[in-house]
Amino acid sequence: MELKEIANNIFACLQEDKGFGWNNTGFINLGGGLIIDTCYDLNYTKNMIELIKGIYSGPIRRVVNTHHNGDHTWGNQLFKDSEIIAHRLCAEEMEKEKARNLPGLLQTGIKRPHRFPSDMKWFIDDISEFDYSEVEITLPNHLIENRLDLELDNLICQIIYVSPAHTSNDLIVNIPDEKIVFSGDIVFHKTTPLGWEGTHQKWIEALDLIISMNPKIIVPGHGPLCDVDGVKKLREYFEFVYSEAKRFYDEGLAPLEASKRIDLGPYKEWTEPERLIFNVNRAYREFKKEEPWDAPFNEIDLLSKGGKLRAYWEKN
C-alpha cells in the first residue's frame, strides 16, 4: 500500500491489484480530512489510516463511499464518528449484505473452502489475505441522491451519482480545480472490470462523463493511476465485449461458451481476464429483455463459471 501525493493536499492510496478486493482509496488533507473509500477489511483500513497519520493526525471529518461493495466500505466501522457520505441505494445494498452476514460468509469461504464449489477456488484465493472476522458492516449516515458539492478550505469537491453502472449506487468524486477524478469502480485500469450489476449503457455514459471532464489524473477503483486514455481503453473493452456477446447470443450460445470463443487480444493481458463472463452474462440479460437490470442473479454460479473459463484457457 502506497500513499502518493498527486496534487497539493490530495493523495491516492494505491494497492497492487491482486484480484478481488484490492482497491484504491484517497485522502484530501483539507476541511478536516476527507477519505474516499475504505478497504476490504479492518487490517488494510488500519494500514491506510497509519499512512494518513504521517500527514494528518486529527480525526477524520468525512468519508465518501463510492458504492456499497465491501472492498470500499468494510472499513467504515473505524470511522463511526465521521460523516460517511454515500448514495441512498448504497445504504440499501449494505443493509442487505448485513442481513445475510456477507463478511461471515466470505470468512467461511477462506477457512472452509470445501464448502463452496471447487470452481470458485480462484475467487477464494483472491480474498484469502483478508480477515473479515471482525467486520461490522457500518452504514453511511449522510445519504445523497444526484450530487453533493463540498467546499474543503476553498477546494471544490463534486460528488456525482452516475449509476446504474458498476452497481446501482456509484459515485465519482471530481476535483475540477486540480483536474483529478476519484472514479471508484467506474474505472478499472489494466485490470478486467467487474460488470455483473448495473447496465452497459449507463457505464458507458459514466465513462463519457469522466472523459468530458478531461482530468489529468484519475484514481481508479482498481489498478494504477491513469489519465483519459485509460478511460477510453476501458470504454473500448466494454464496447468490444458487448458487440461480441451480441454476435454469440444471436448464434444461440450460452454465456460461458460465448466467453470461450471471444478472442480478447490485448485485453487478455489485463489481470483477472476471466471476469469476462460477468460482462457477457450481463449483456445476455440485457439482450433477453425478460427482467429488469436489477433482478437478482446467482453470484456463486457466475464465480464458478469464471473458474471454468480460467481452466479452459489454461488448457487451450
Per-residue pLDDT tens over the stretch 193-215: 999 899 999 999 999 999 999 99
Number of other CB atoms surrounding residue 122 within 10 Å: 19
Which domains does the chain carry?
A: 2-228 (3.60.15.10)
Q: Model-level pTM greater than 0.85?
A: yes
* pLDDT for the residue 287: 97
What DSSP letter does each residue of 25-56 carry, written as one string? Answer: EEEE-STT-EEE---SSHHHHHHHHHHHHTT-
Residue 232, pLDDT > 90, answer yes
Q: Is the pLDDT of residue 296 over 90?
A: no
Q: Give residue for cell 467506474.
A: 186
Cα separation, 250 vs 288, in Å, equals: 11
When the pLDDT of each residue in the chain is averaged and rounded to a whole number, the result is: 96
The reported pLDDT for the residue numbered 288 is 95
